[in-house]
Structure 1
């Protein structure tokens, strides 16, 4: 029960990585409140608090912070992606992706950070796409680079009162992964190629990211701050020559 007695806010906890983190935090003894833009999911554990909130809206985020009160852990997970190049991207695409992935993280940190107890932990969900660009994901790539930069700034500006780190997932089995494969001319071949690029020969699961989030939220990670932790099954560690594709 590494998080016993701690209060956590997790944005975007309806499904995918966010839901995995909610479940893992509760299993480790944390009291959790999560949020999303729709109604409370039917399968959300009864002990988990739910607020309908859009993180791009300052007023809704302020309401979330008011309900949450003093917290020990904040996980900024809510985010979206659009599969387009710069030339293809519209103003609406910009507002959607930058609104959720950049402004949303900023809004939530600004509202909740002053309410965090000493020794607290902010965990931002970045991406390997913030390090190396995925094709036709211009706005998403740029938005995750923003998250990485903001993570370092918060760690520097607000230590030692709290810690701030980012988890940079690779290819995780969520709806976003399936949307990416759908862009390929041959989705099945694309999936096989992608698996071959992983040292683990599998894609990640939300529970893989949740396990790192639990550690970063716990007192065990008391000396870790301002860091970007890549969890990608070894994909970015390998040269293409070592993947078995050539």
Structure 2
């Protein structure tokens, strides 16, 4: 449903697929303007091309490597130049760096450049525009920030650090800028389907995963988008400095059959 309010300008990282694509689509359906980016070029970003075709006047796409601070800075500059303002930043880009605590130094550095530093630097670059608009920053972290499993380091460590980033942005940049974190759990994306497909029996792997969720299913990408839409609205104006877990109750379970 299209909003009757004036369109906001929303910048979102990681919009070529998965959760980021769903978040972008949610804001576009709400009548907002979305300026998205991802590592993939437009030629390789099929879903981004579809959004460009469906929303030619309200969706814009840039190829950006968010591990490179100069590219982040240029992206924010280009985004603000397009419409003269930025109202919402959804810092979503990231990937699973599941190498284990004995990972190589290069894995550690890449993980923190992508899954932590990029979020801080995006917020830093967008701060002047957000101060003018009294805007909102949403940081997408993970339920691994709260509890994790063997082999998921250093990813979980950076995701935990994002909880503190959300707090610091809130207490140092408020009240002009409001910051909230979102920690999704298992969301039904193409990437997670590839993980199912890596098992000898993909159907069984999916069923076992579903059984670990008290709500009886795994999450949908558009649900993350709807939560973003709410948290960046006036109705959520008293929510700040916290990170909301959306994992279908998975983190409520102390132990499951896969743990000896």
Q: TM-score over 0.5 for the alignment?
A: yes
Q: Is the 8 A contact 1:3 1:25 kept in 2?
A: no
Q: Is the 8 A contact 1:126 1:168 kept in 2?
A: yes
What root-mean-square deviation, in Å, do the aligned CA atoms of Structure 1 and Structure 2 show? 2.2
2:51 to 33, 40, 44: 44
Q: Bigger CA drift: 43-52 or 54-63? A: 43-52
Give runs of aligned pairs for residues 87-236 of structure 1, distance below 5 A. 87=102, 89-116=103-130, 117-178=132-193, 180-181=195-196, 188-236=203-251
Question: TM-score by structure 1 length?
Answer: 0.90
Question: TM-score by structure 2 length?
Answer: 0.86
Cα distance change of structure 1 residues 2 and 240 upon mapping to structure 2, 3 Å threshold = farther
- The match for 1:5 is 7
* Structure 2 residue 74 is the aligned partner of structure 1 residue 67: no
**Which secondary structure state, in structure 1, belongs to the residue aligned with residue 23 of structure 2?**
helix
1:3 Cα deviation after fit: 6.3
Give, in whole Å, the separation in 1 of the partners of 2:5 and 2:189.
Answer: 26
Give, in whole Å, the separation in 2 of the partners of 1:217 and 1:3.
Answer: 13
Give, in whole Å, the separation in 2 of the partners of 1:123 and 1:19.
Answer: 15
Q: Which runs of 5+ in 2 are unaligned?
A: none
Give, in whole Å, the separation in 1 of the partners of 2:250 and 2:204.
Answer: 17
**Which secondary structure state, in structure 1, belongs to the residue aligned with residue 222 of structure 2?**
helix
Q: Is the 8 A contact 1:80 1:96 kept in 2?
A: no
**Which secondary structure state, in structure 2, belongs to the residue aligned with residue 51 of structure 1?**
strand
Give, in whole Å, the separation in 2 of the partners of 1:186 and 1:83.
Answer: 22
Q: Is the 8 A contact 2:18 2:191 kept in 1?
A: no
Q: Which runs of 5+ in 1 are unaligned?
A: none
Cα distance change of structure 1 residues 66 and 92 upon mapping to structure 2, 3 Å threshold = same
Give, in whole Å, the separation in 2 of the partners of 1:123 and 1:60.
Answer: 20
Give, in whole Å, the separation in 1 of the partners of 2:186 and 2:5.
Answer: 27
Give, in whole Å, the separation in 2 of the partners of 1:91 and 1:186.
Answer: 34
Q: Bigger CA drift: 170-179 or 62-71? A: 170-179
Give, in whole Å, the separation in 2 of the partners of 1:135 and 1:189.
Answer: 21
Q: Bigger CA drift: 231-240 or 132-141? A: 231-240
1:177 Cα deviation after fit: 2.5
Q: Deviations over 1:148-194 (max 9, x none)?
A: 11011101111100110011001001244245546768655443222
